[in-house]
Structure 1
Amino acid sequence: MAGRTVKKDDKTKTWYFVLTCGKKENGQPRQFKKRGFKTKQEAQKAMLELEQSLTMGTYIQPNKILYKEYLLNQFLEDKMTKVKKQTLNTYRWIVEQHIIPTIGYVELTKLNPMMIQGLYNKLTKEQTLSDENIQKVHTLINDSLKKAERWGLIARNPAALVDRPKAVKKEITVWNVEEVRRFLKCAKKGGRYYIAFLLALTTGMRQGEILGLRWKDVDFESGCVRITQTLSSDGKELLPYTKTKSGSRTIDLPEETIIALKEHWLFIRREKEAKVYKDLDLVVCTELGTPTHKSNIRRVFKAIIKKADVPKIRFHDMRHTHATLLLLQGVNPKIVSERLGHADVRITLDTYSHLLPSMQKETALKFGKLLFEEDSED
Structure 2
Amino acid sequence: MPVYKDQKAKKNPWYYQFDYLDDSGERKFKKQRGFKTKGDAQKALVEAESTYNRDGLTKESKVLYSEFLKRFIDYKKAGGVSKSTLVNYTWLIDLHIVPYLGSIMLTELKPEMLVRLYNRLNDEKTLSDENIQKVHTLINNSLQLAVKWKELNRNVASLVDRPKVKRKKVEVWDLEDSHKFLLEAKNSRYYMTFLLAVTTGMRQGEILGLKWENVDFNRGNISITQTLSHDGKEFIDGAKTKAGVRSVAVDQATLDELKRLQLRTKKEKLSSPEGTYIEKNLVICTSVGTQLTPRNLMRSFYALIEKTRVKKIRFHDLRHTHCTMLLGMDIHPKKVAERVGHKDSRMMDRYSHILPNMQKETASKFGEMFYKKA
So what's the TM-score if we normalise by structure 1? 0.82
2:35 matched residue in structure 1: none
Kept in 1, the 8 Å contact 2:207–2:227? The answer is: yes
The whole-number CA distance in structure 2 between the counterparts of 1:66 and 1:22 is 28
Instruction: Give the secondary-structure state (helix, strand or coil) at the position aligned to 2:243.
Output: coil
**For the structure 1 residues 71 and 368, does the alpha-carbon distance in structure 2 shift closer, same or farther, using more than 3 Å as the test?**
same
The whole-number CA distance in structure 2 between the counterparts of 1:153 and 1:196 is 50
The whole-number CA distance in structure 1 between the counterparts of 2:289 and 2:95 is 33
The whole-number CA distance in structure 1 between the counterparts of 2:358 and 2:22 is 74
Kept in 2, the 8 Å contact 1:201–1:321? The answer is: yes
- Is 1:209 aligned to 2:181, yes or no? no
**Per-residue deviation at 1:60?**
4.2
**For the structure 1 residues 180 and 22, does the alpha-carbon distance in structure 2 shift closer, same or farther, using more than 3 Å as the test?**
closer
2:232 matched residue in structure 1: 235
Instruction: Give the secondary-structure state (helix, strand or coil) at the position aligned to 1:260.
Output: helix
**Per-residue deviation at 1:135?**
0.4
5+ residue gaps in structure 2?
1-18, 32-44
Point out the more displaced range, 234-243 or 75-84: 234-243
The whole-number CA distance in structure 2 between the counterparts of 1:137 and 1:246 is 24
1:292 matched residue in structure 2: 292
5+ residue gaps in structure 1?
1-19, 35-48
**Per-residue deviation at 1:24?**
6.3
**Per-residue deviation at 1:64?**
3.0
Kept in 2, the 8 Å contact 1:24–1:30? The answer is: no
The whole-number CA distance in structure 2 between the counterparts of 1:368 and 1:224 is 38
1:37 matched residue in structure 2: none
1:337 matched residue in structure 2: 337
Read off the aligned partner of 1:99 and give its amino acid letter: I
1:127 matched residue in structure 2: 125
**Per-residue deviation at 1:270?**
1.9
Kept in 2, the 8 Å contact 1:65–1:107? The answer is: yes
**Per-residue deviation at 1:206?**
0.4
1:70 matched residue in structure 2: 68
The whole-number CA distance in structure 2 between the counterparts of 1:65 and 1:112 is 15
**Per-residue deviation at 1:244?**
3.6
Kept in 1, the 8 Å contact 2:181–2:310? The answer is: yes
Which one has the largest radius of gyration? 1
Point out the more displaced range, 258-267 or 243-252: 243-252
Kept in 2, the 8 Å contact 1:132–1:167? The answer is: yes
Per-residue CA deviation, residues 144-187 of structure 1 (Å, 9 max, x unaligned), is 11111121112211111111111100000000111001111111
**For the structure 1 residues 24 and 252, does the alpha-carbon distance in structure 2 shift closer, same or farther, using more than 3 Å as the test?**
closer
Read off the aligned partner of 2:279 and give its amino acid letter: D
Instruction: Give the secondary-structure state (helix, strand or coil) at the position aligned to 1:311.
Output: coil
So what's the TM-score if we normalise by structure 2? 0.83
2:147 to 146, 149, 156: 149
Per-residue CA deviation, residues 266-307 of structure 1 (Å, 9 max, x unaligned), is 221122121411111111112221221111111111100000
1:198 matched residue in structure 2: 195
**Per-residue deviation at 1:348?**
2.8
**Per-residue deviation at 1:30?**
8.7
Q: Percent identity?
A: 49
- Is 1:326 aligned to 2:326, yes or no? yes
Kept in 1, the 8 Å contact 2:282–2:289? The answer is: yes
Kept in 1, the 8 Å contact 2:169–2:350? The answer is: no
The number of residue pairs the alignment matches comes to 335
The whole-number CA distance in structure 2 between the counterparts of 1:165 and 1:101 is 19
The whole-number CA distance in structure 2 between the counterparts of 1:142 and 1:24 is 31
**For the structure 1 residues 143 and 243, does the alpha-carbon distance in structure 2 shift closer, same or farther, using more than 3 Å as the test?**
same
Point out the more displaced range, 57-66 or 336-345: 57-66
Kept in 2, the 8 Å contact 1:111–1:158? The answer is: yes
**Per-residue deviation at 1:359?**
1.1
Per-residue CA deviation, residues 343-364 of structure 1 (Å, 9 max, x unaligned), is 122x332222332232122112
Per-residue CA deviation, residues 118-149 of structure 1 (Å, 9 max, x unaligned), is 11111100101100110010011011111111
The whole-number CA distance in structure 2 between the counterparts of 1:340 and 1:141 is 31
Instruction: Give the secondary-structure state (helix, strand or coil) at the position aligned to 1:251.
Output: strand
**Per-residue deviation at 1:233?**
2.1
- Is 1:260 aligned to 2:235, yes or no? no
Per-residue CA deviation, residues 323-342 of structure 1 (Å, 9 max, x unaligned), is 10111122222321221111
Root-mean-square deviation over aligned CA pairs: 2.5
**For the structure 1 residues 167 and 279, does the alpha-carbon distance in structure 2 shift closer, same or farther, using more than 3 Å as the test?**
same
